[in-house]
């Protein structure tokens, strides 16, 4: 469009424009496009008409998400990035910021064009770091200046296990950048073995922890070490990778944990093709005691089961029952999302064992579980209950 007056949007009434504007903002809200890409929101929203441009310029919250990739930036691109970051910081006023920094290559000093963003670190509310672990030293000047930080996502962009081992071996005292982030509540980690040794932060204050990995360096044992002492943790999501030939660790109690999600890894080639989908979940369940548990969710891809897999399902059902009994958690209101990890027969066994009164059973299936739940009648689950 050459001018705002020539566009068709200028013919719409104000209320309609605002409604469309809000829809476009919601559509773009999940995007992780680089801040340097002006062909995405919020930049393009101001190109539609004058009304939208005024709204964009007077809406600080539209300028609070800053995504920066440090890969392949020449001097011209860095100058442009400095200009755009200044615009974001000025237009976002004093609003809390959501910041994402990505680099596939290690660097020793933070790029000069990031200085305005780093100077606004007191406004960082959410931070996503996708950089080599050796590069965290470049941000050491921010230590103690991340008071507002509440959500932290950390991922290591290693494509091979050897590089990851090398970087961790050269990490002397760990990453201390986040050790004074006393408002930190939500932490997400990906591909980080022994995170308590790598990152110094107020672990005991965490309320929500997620651990994911495509690396065999991260196992159930390393995850369990990360969970120790997290007495305020209320929600946890773990990708389970079975620890082979390891001594059984001491049972861990998480007194405040209400929601637990356990995800299985795919077939692990390092184990000679052994199916570890359920094995990892079974092992993790056997190590935990969760007295406040309200919601247990298991997730794995479904498929044709072998005889060995059927046996592992029996182990899984047994561990779920043992967990609930061991934890002495309140069964009334307990939510179990177990399909397809547990089939109909397994569900019947679990409910028969843990539910003191079938009259208190409530089935409220999610749409994803509808085909499964529609096949179940109360008479199949409990012989003593009529349909």
92 and 60 Cβ atoms separated by less than 8 Å: yes
Q: Which of 201, 236, 259 is the last residue of a domain?
A: 201
DSSP-assigned states of every residue in 93-154 = TT--EEEEEE-SS--SS--GGGHHHHHTGGGEEEEEEES-GGGGGGGGGGTT--TT--EEEE
Per cent of the chain over pLDDT 70 is 73
Domain ends where: 185, 201, 217?
201
H or E, element range at 263:
strand 259-264
Same domain, 236 and 124: no
161 lies in the same domain as 218: no
- Domain of 88, CATH number, reads 3.80.10
Instruction: Pinpoint the alpha helices (H) of 264-327.
Output: 277-287, 307-327
225 and 352 part of one domain:
yes
Final residue in a domain of this structure, among 168, 201, 234 = 201
225 and 272, same domain (yes or no): yes
Rg for the chain, CA atoms, rounded: 25
75 in the same domain as 10: no
Considering the domain architecture, whether residues 82 and 192 belong to the same structural domain is answered as yes
Number of structural domains the chain divides into: 3
| β-pair partners for 65 | 98
316 in Cβ contact with 279 (< 8 Å): no
Q: What are the pLDDT digits (tens) for 196-235?
A: 888 999 999 999 999 987 777 788 888 888 999 999 999 9
Do residues 169 and 284 both lie within one domain? no
Phi-psi region of 113 (alpha: psi -120 to 50; beta: other; left: phi over 0): alpha
Residue 26 and residue 70 in one domain: no
The domain containing residue 180 runs over which residues?
A: 65-201
- In a shared domain, residues 20 and 135: no
Neighbouring residues of 254: CB distance < 8 A, sequence distance ≥ 6: 227, 230, 231, 233, 236, 288, 289, 290
Q: Indicate whether 23 and 134 sit together in one domain.
A: no
End-to-end CA distance of the chain: 64
224 three-state secondary structure = helix
Which two three-digit tokens encode residue 109? 């000093």
Q: Are residues 74 and 195 in the same domain?
A: yes
Where the chain has pLDDT below 50, the residues are 1-4, 27, 30-31, 267-275, 303-304, 306-308, 364, 367-369, 371-372, 374-375, 378, 383-387
Res 128: pLDDT: 96
- Predicted confidence at residue 205, as pLDDT, reads 94
Residues 374 and 239 placed together within one structural domain of the fold: yes
* 98 Cβ contact partners less than 8 Å away, ≥ 6 residues apart: 64, 65, 66, 125, 126, 127
């Amino acid at each position: 469009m050459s001018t705002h007056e020539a566009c068709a949007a200028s013919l719409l009434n104000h209320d309609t424009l605002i409604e469309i504007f809000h829809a476009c903002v919601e559509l773009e809200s999940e995007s992780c496009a680089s801040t340097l890409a002006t062909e995405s929101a919020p930049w393009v929203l101001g190109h539609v008409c004058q009304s939208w441009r005024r709204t964009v310029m007077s809406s600080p919250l539209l300028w609070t998400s800053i995504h920066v990739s440090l890969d392949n930036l020449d001097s011209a691109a860095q100058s442009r990035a400095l200009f755009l970051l200044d615009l974001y910081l000025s237009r976002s006023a004093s609003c809390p910021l959501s910041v994402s920094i990505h680099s596939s290559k290690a660097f020793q000093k933070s790029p000069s064009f990031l200085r305005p963003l780093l100077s606004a670190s007191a406004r960082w509310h959410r931070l996503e770091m996708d950089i080599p672990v050796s590069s965290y030293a470049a941000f050491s000047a921010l230590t103690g200046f991340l008071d507002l930080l509440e959500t932290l996502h950390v991922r290591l962009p290693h494509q091979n296990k050897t590089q990851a081992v090398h970087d961790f071996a050269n990490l002397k005292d760990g990453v201390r950048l986040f050790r004074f982030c006393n408002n930190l509540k939500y932490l997400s980690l990906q591909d980080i073995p022994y995170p308590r040794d790598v990152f110094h932060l107020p672990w005991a204050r965490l309320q929500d922890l997620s651990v994911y990995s495509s690396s065999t360096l991260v196992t159930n044992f390393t995850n369990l070490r990360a969970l120790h002492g997290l007495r305020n943790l209320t929600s946890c999501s773990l990708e389970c990778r079975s620890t082979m030939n390891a001594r059984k660790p001491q049972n861990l109690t998480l007194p405040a944990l209400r929601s637990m999600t356990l995800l299985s890894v795919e077939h692990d080639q390092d184990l000679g093709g052994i199916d570890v989908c359920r094995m990892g979940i079974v092992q993790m369940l056997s190590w935990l005691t969760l007295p406040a548990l309200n919601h247990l969710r298991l997730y794995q891809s479904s498929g044709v089961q072998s005889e060995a897999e059927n046996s592992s399902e029996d182990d899984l059902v047994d561990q779920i029952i043992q967990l609930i009994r061991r934890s002495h958690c309140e069964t009334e209101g307990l939510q179990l999302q177990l399909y397809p990890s547990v089939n109909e027969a397994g569900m019947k066994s679990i409910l028969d064992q843990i539910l003191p009164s079938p009259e208190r059973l409530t089935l409220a299936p999610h749409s994803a579980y509808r085909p499964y739940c529609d096949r179940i009648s109360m008479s199949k689950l409990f012989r003593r209950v009529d349909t």
